[in-house]
């Protein structure tokens, strides 16, 4: 029955293939051409390096995304390992809370940051009561960092918990019985075993942060992360070619991050903020 | 066994992390129900802001639900057959196709939206209808449906079931309807929940693809954050949470259940092997 089914299989996948071709492949190829159609031609693709405003925005976005990635990996590893290894009442609830914001959109997370650290925010109230001075950081780089960390934790913790469940307790036991102190067990046994999970979730986190638009949009900060720069070029400056070439560059960066991670560690699925 | 100090330190750390994620959500819910957030809870609780939001923005909520269910219908029609073909074929071509389908998730929504506007923005009627937003949502959610169904199909030996049905004379379509679809159900269900949840909350594509007459929920949210008082914005966010959190909880419950099913399947396979040898 194998070969006889091939025409049917082809028919089954045809609708998806046509939709994908018409609404994804063709538009993306056009976008790439439009990117090279401005005054600068193909040089538009290196504008990330040559135009100071674009270069600054690229560097800021990369630094922010890297910082968020490492912070999210660190806190999620501590909490994830703890939740996998201990059984106690309320554990399921904690897991539920930590993974709940998985599909919160970036705009909403931006608003949550405003409630937390904005002009009428909780942090402001608490610091005013304690020190007499109001701490407001929602609209700065720190606000973006907090927002990005917020949407990164659920994604990272899921992958890390899945990886931690597969750890072999016998290895740790062996290390300990040979006299290894706790920090060496962590460094030499646990972290190497978690490495594929850390790489996979780190890449998801980095790619999501690079492309995140909603959070910066809500916070309306003066810090131009790359997606905001693209948006401004497109809407305010009507620089369609510039927006297109920057989009393609950004898309290549995020895709490459995910691709490299996947080839290093197995499968990953991201969901953008 | 008495808990060690390390346990309590880690628990505290995890609780702080949970607080970081949940406190802002509670704050936003409270702000949406408070008469005057600046004064605080003493000003009294009210549903006034929720009603105001309903009056101003109920259209965006209906539109988002319509788009989400249309998106579900399309991803079911396109995604389930695709997952089946990929599971059947396997090999390098299948992986390449899968890699391509996942691209819209790896590339920022902003880039995809720009590409769609540049290519199809000239078709006025299409550009002005919600179908334009739907196209973006389908591209973005399709990989989740395909992956979810594919994962279930790959975890079981559906070829054996199919061959059994075929030997009894079942045609291809009979097999597809009566063998494949029922067995892929957990994956279809999980994928469906994911698609609806993502579609309702998707902002990047929706913002770029919307027009003044096709404002969906996330667009309305951004609009209220920019121009409304904090209480109204919070009440709107509260309505959004009421819509989305049950879906997210259902997704969590389902993934727990699917994990149990997968473990049972694996156990049964081991048992069968043992009884066979």
Topology of the domain covering B25-271: MetI-like fold (1.10.3720)
Q: Cβ of B197 and A103 within 8 Å?
A: yes
A35-70 residue pLDDT tens: 888 777 787 788 778 888 889 899 999 999 999 999
Query: Which stretches of chain A score pLDDT less than 70?
Result: 1-2, 221, 266-273
Q: What is the pTM of this model?
A: 0.89
pLDDT value of position A166? 85
* Cα-based angle B171, B177, B182 (whole degrees, multiple of 5): 135
Rounded to 5°, the CA angle B29-B32-B36 comes to 130
Angle at A122 between CA A133 and CA A129, to 5 degrees: 35
Residues B138, A217: C-beta atoms closer than 8 Å: no
On whether both A210 and A119 belong to a single domain, the answer is: yes
Tell whether A14 and A133 lie within a shared domain: no
Residue of B37, B218, B252 lying closest to A105 (CB–CB)? B218
Do residues A197 and A254 share a domain?
Answer: yes
Residues A104 and A209 in one domain: yes
Nearest to A103 among B15, B112, B248 (CB): B248
Alpha helices in chain B (DSSP H): 5-33, 48-89, 91-106, 109-120, 124-128, 131-154, 158-167, 172-175, 181-183, 185-201, 204-209, 217-227, 230-276
B220 and chain A in contact, CB less than 8 A: no
Please indicate whether, in this complex, the C-beta atoms of A120 and B106 are within 8 angstroms of each other. Answer: no
Does A19 reside within a domain? Answer: yes
With respect to residue A158, please indicate whether it lies within any of the assigned structural domains: yes
The nearest alpha carbon in chain A to B142 belongs to A16
Q: Which of A20, A97, A230 sits opposite B21 (nearest CB)?
A: A97
Instruction: Note whether A200 and A155 are within 8 A (CB).
Output: no
Domain ranges of chain B: 25-271
| For A270, nearest residue in chain B (alpha carbons) | B105
Residue A272 within any structural domain of the chain:
no
Cα(B16)–Cα(B21) distance, integer angstroms: 9
Are A145 and A261 found together in one domain? yes
Q: Are residues A31 and B101, on separate chains, in Cβ contact within 8 Å?
A: no
What is residue A139's predicted lDDT score, i.e. its pLDDT?
A: 87
pLDDT tens-digit readout, B128-177:
999 999 999 999 999 999 999 998 998 888 888 888 888 888 888 888 88
Give the pLDDT confidence of A186-212 residue by residue, as tens digits.
Answer: 888 888 889 888 998 999 899 999 999
Listed by number, the residues of chain B in 127-156 with a beta carbon closer than 8 Å to a beta carbon of chain A are: 135, 138-140, 142-144, 147
* pLDDT range class, residue B3, cuts 50, 70, 90: low
> Are residue A24 and residue A153 in the same domain, yes or no?
no
Q: For B30-81, what is each residue's pLDDT tens digit?
A: 988 888 877 777 777 888 888 988 988 999 999 999 999 999 999 999 999 9
Q: Are residues A27 and A55 in the same domain?
A: no
Residue A31 maps to a domain: yes
Q: Does B166 touch chain A (CB under 8 A)?
A: yes
Select the residue from B85, B100, B134 to test the A interface by mutation, using most A Cβ atoms within 10 A. B85
**Do residues A88 and A8 both lie within one domain?**
no
**Min Cα separation B28/chain A (Å):** 7
Instruction: List the beta bridge partners of residue B34.
Output: B45
More confident residue, B78 or B256: B78
Task: Give the residue on A whose Cα is nearest the Cα of B236.
Answer: A108
Chain B residues with beta carbon closer than 8 angstroms to that of A114: 225
User: Do A30 and A5 belong together in one domain?
Assistant: yes
A-chain residues within 8 Å CB-CB of B163? 1
Tally of structural domains, chain A: 2
Does one domain contain both A22 and A68? no
Specify whether A31 is located in the same domain as A50. Answer: no
A14 and A54 in a single domain? The answer is no
- Model confidence at B6, pLDDT cuts 50, 70, 90, reads confident
Decide: helix, strand or coil at residue B203: coil
Residues in B 26-85 with any Cβ partner in A closer than 8 A: 27-28, 31, 37-38, 77-79, 81-82, 84-85
**Residues, chain A:** 273
Separation between Cα atoms, residue B230 and residue B225, nearest integer Å: 8
Provide, as residue numbers in chain A, all residues whose Cβ is less than 8 Å from the Cβ of B104.
Answer: 24
CATH number of the domain to which A131 belongs: 1.10.3720.10
A18: domain range?
A: 1-35
Minimum-distance CB partner of B201 among A23, A105, A269: A105
């Amino acid at each position: 029955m194998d070969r006889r089914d091939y025409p049917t299989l082809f028919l089954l996948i045809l609708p998806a293939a046509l939709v994908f071709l018409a609404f994804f492949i063709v538009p993306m190829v056009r976008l790439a051409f439009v990117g090279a159609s401005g005054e600068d031609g193909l040089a538009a693709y290196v504008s990330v390096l040559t135009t100071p405003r674009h270069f600054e925005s690229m560097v800021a976005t990369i630094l922010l995304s890297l910082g968020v990635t490492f912070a999210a990996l660190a806190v999620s590893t501590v909490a994830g390992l703890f939740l996998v290894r201990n059984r106690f009442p309320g554990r399921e609830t904690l897991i539920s809370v930590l993974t709940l914001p998985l599909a919160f959109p970036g705009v909403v997370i931006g608003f949550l940051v405003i409630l937390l650290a904005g002009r009428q925010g909780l942090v402001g109230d608490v610091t005013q009561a304690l020190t007499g001075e109001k701490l407001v950081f929602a609209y700065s780089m720190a606000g973006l960092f907090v927002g990005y960390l917020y949407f990164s934790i659920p994604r990272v913790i899921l992958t890390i918990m899945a990886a931690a469940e597969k750890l072999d307790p016998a290895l740790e036991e062996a290390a300990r019985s040979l006299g290894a102190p706790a920090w060496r067990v962590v460094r030499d046994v646990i972290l190497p075993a978690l490495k594929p999970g850390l790489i996979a979730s780190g890449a998801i986190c980095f790619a999501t942060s690079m492309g995140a638009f909603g959070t910066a949009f809500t916070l309306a900060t003066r810090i131009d992360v790359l997606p905001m720069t693209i948006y401004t070029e497109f809407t305010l400056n009507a620089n369609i070619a510039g927006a297109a070439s920057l989009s393609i560059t950004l898309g290549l960066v995020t895709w490459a991050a995910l691709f490299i991670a996947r080839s290093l560690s197995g499968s990953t699925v991201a969901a953008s903020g | 066994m008495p808990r060690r100090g390390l346990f309590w330190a880690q628990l505290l750390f995890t609780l702080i992390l949970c607080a970081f994620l949940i406190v802002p959500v509670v704050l936003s819910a409270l702000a949406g129900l408070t008469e005057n957030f600046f004064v605080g809870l003493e000003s009294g609780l009210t549903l006034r802001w929720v009603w105001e939001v309903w009056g101003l923005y109920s259209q965006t909520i209906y539109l988002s639900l319509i788009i989400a269910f249309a998106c579900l219908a399309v991803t079911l029609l396109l995604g389930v057959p695709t997952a089946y073909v990929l599971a059947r074929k396997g090999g390098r071509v299948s992986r390449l196709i899968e890699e391509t389908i996942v691209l819209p998730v790896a590339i920022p929504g902003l880039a995809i939206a720009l590409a769609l506007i540049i290519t199809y923005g000239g078709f006025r009627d299409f550009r002005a209808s919600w179908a334009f937003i739907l196209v973006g949502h389908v591209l973005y959610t399709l990989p989740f449906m395909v992956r979810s169904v594919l994962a279930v199909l790959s975890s079981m030996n559906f070829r054996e079931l199919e061959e059994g049905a075929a030997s009894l004379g079942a045609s291809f379509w009979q097999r597809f309807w009566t063998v494949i679809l029922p067995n892929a159900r957990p994956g279809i269900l999980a994928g469906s929940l994911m698609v609806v949840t993502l579609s309702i909350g998707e902002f990047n594509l929706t913002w770029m693809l919307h027009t003044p007459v096709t404002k969906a929920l996330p667009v309305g949210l951004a609009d209220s954050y920019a121009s409304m008082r904090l209480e109204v914005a919070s009440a709107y966010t509260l309505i959004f949470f009421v819509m989305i959190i049950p879906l997210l909880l259902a997704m969590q419950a389902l993934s727990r259940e699917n994990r149990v099913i997968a473990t049972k399947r694996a156990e049964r396979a081991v048992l069968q092997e043992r009884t066979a040898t």
